[in-house]
Amino acid sequence: MRRPWLSLAAATAALLITAAPALACGGLIGPNGAVNLLRTTTFAGYHNGVEHYVTAFEFAGGGGAFGSITPLPDIPTKVERGGDWTLQRLVLETDPAVREFAFDALLAAPAAGEAEVLLETTVDALDITILRGGGDEVGLWAKNHGFRLPPDAPEVLDFYADRSPIFMAAAFDADAAVERGQAIGDGTPVHLAIPTDNPWVPLRILGLGKSSAETVQADVYLLTDEKPALLPKAGAFTESEGLILDHSAAASDALLADLRSDAGMEWVPSEAWLTKVVIDASPAELTFDLAIDASGARNPSPVDAGFAPFGPTPAPRPPMALYLALAALLVVALPIGLERAARAASSGRPPLAGA
């Protein structure tokens, strides 16, 4: 089932935060009327060893503060405001049904135990912090900075921190957005340049805080030098729409030219492959990330996909079968050799070599 407007919806997300302290008793927080869930759209481009990660935080009205935490594959060297139309232009490329509306619209408009802060910057009404630390450290930092983490956060943070201890925390100040004159629906794109061996896109975190009755729906756009190999492969789920390869083709010259003309997008190459992956799965199904091999080797990493634990390779186990075979050989060969040696000694000849 296609969701024309949901194709603009979240691809990276999100631990809700509020400025208010968490209340001990249930029933008061829920969907706080003063805090509206932001939606994000994600694009991961990979060229010359650098992942260009563009995500937008959409102002949905209300007041207070809220935000998200996004796992990253490595330390970004640049965090800046994203271009004005990159995400929307990608949507138009793969979903022409929204062409007129969307493009017209866009043209119109550490304490102890905490994670280490690597970078802090502000983009419009977004306060962005790049963190490095384990799951506990990042969780504690988030808690101490007003993020209200859902109960599945500890496990999910560990899931990411075990592979890459780099996170982006984005706190959105809705009051500041109002003061800046931002209207409901206005997006704040953020562009991160992340040198890394191969890009991956966090998917599991999309299910964070969601109940089993909910569905994770998201779109991920990839722009790579060559046709990428993905893990898991699209269509991995048979009982749901799961992971759908919605678009896979050489990027058009018009698209590349449009992207390259946007702010901060001069890195876009003259030739590239455009992939769009749609995620439509239950949180219980979404236990992995999207690993991408853009090198042409077609060997996406199981570790990057979250299928294999990160860490030192276990020491090789003793080749027990070989030991048993050698022992059996000795059991058989030793008596024979001794017998031949005895015969040789008795006959005055040397024993046969290797016997």
Partner 1 sequence: MSSPARLAVAALLVAATVTAGCGGRAPVTVTITIHYSAFDLTDVHVPVGVPVTFVLVNEDPIDHEWLVGDAAFHEKHRTGTHEAHGDVPNEVNIPALETRRTTITFDEPGVLQFICHLPAHEAYGMVGTLTVGG
Site residues (vs partner 1, CB under 8 A): 21-30, 113, 135-140, 142-143, 148-155, 157-158, 209, 211
Q: How many residues does the chain have?
A: 355
Q: Which residue has the tokens 């075990």?
A: 162
Query: Which C-beta is closer to partner 1: that of 133 or that of 228?
Result: 133
Query: Which C-beta is closer to partner 1: that of 31 or that of 312?
Result: 31
Query: Which C-beta is closer to partner 1: that of 84 or that of 152?
Result: 152
Q: With contact defined as beta carbons under 8 Å apart, do 148 and 31 qualify?
A: no
- State both tokens at 28: 């008061």
Instruction: Read off the amino acid at residue 330.
Output: L
- The sheet that has 166-173: what strands, in order across it? 65-72, 166-173, 126-132, 116-123
Q: With contact defined as beta carbons under 8 Å apart, do 121 and 106 qualify?
A: no
Query: Which C-beta is closer to partner 1: that of 25 or that of 331?
Result: 25
Q: Of 23, 22, 20, which is closest to residue 35 (Cα–Cα)? A: 20
Query: Which C-beta is closer to partner 1: that of 208 or that of 259?
Result: 208
What is the closest distance, in whole angstroms, from the C-beta atom of residue 179 to partner 1 in the complex? 29
What is the closest distance, in whole angstroms, from the C-beta atom of residue 216 to partner 1 in the complex? 16
Do strands 40-47 and 216-224 pair parallel, antiparallel, or not at all (unpaired)?
parallel
- Four-residue CA torsion sign, 23, 27, 28, 30: positive
What is the closest distance, in whole angstroms, from the C-beta atom of residue 159 to partner 1 in the complex? 10
Q: With contact defined as beta carbons under 8 Å apart, do 234 and 245 qualify?
A: yes
Instruction: Say how many CA atoms lie within 13 Å of 95 toward its Cβ.
Output: 22
Query: Which C-beta is closer to partner 1: that of 142 or that of 265?
Result: 142
What is the closest distance, in whole angstroms, from the C-beta atom of residue 29 to partner 1 in the complex? 4
Question: What is the DSSP-derived secondary structure letter of residue 14?
Answer: -
Query: Which C-beta is closer to partner 1: that of 33 or that of 96?
Result: 33
Q: With contact defined as beta carbons under 8 Å apart, do 128 and 170 qualify?
A: yes
Q: Return d(Cα 100, Cα 84) in angstroms, integer.
A: 17
What is the closest distance, in whole angstroms, from the C-beta atom of residue 30 to partner 1 in the complex? 7
What is the closest distance, in whole angstroms, from the C-beta atom of residue 137 to partner 1 in the complex? 7
What is the closest distance, in whole angstroms, from the C-beta atom of residue 140 to partner 1 in the complex? 5
Q: Return d(Cα 72, Cα 224) in angstroms, integer.
A: 18
